[in-house]
Amino acid sequence: LIWLALAAIAVGVLTMAFDLSLPMQVIDFVFLSLIIAFSAKRFLRDKPIVRKDLQDRVTHLLVDEFQDTDPLQAEILLLRTPA
């Protein structure tokens, strides 16, 4: 059920990305990455049941090259960890 909700959000995010980029007639990896990361952060922050489910399912996470993560990515990782 939770993964179905995630899929629905992903479709909404991609639709938003294309709607925003259509007037400019351009979409690139950075633009799409930012929209997806921002939406993931907001989703994890605003949906405690989803955050808890993810924390329960994924008990270990290895982040290679952590020094290269940006603040948005770091916040997503922190939201994913138990309190």
Q: How does pLDDT run across 24-62, given as a tens digit for each residue?
A: 666 677 777 777 788 888 888 898 888 888 888 888 888
Nearest-angstrom CA–CA distance, 82 and 58: 11
- Provide the b/e sequence for 33-48 (b: ≥16 CB within 10 Å): eebebebbbebbeebe
Q: What is the pTM of this model?
A: 0.62
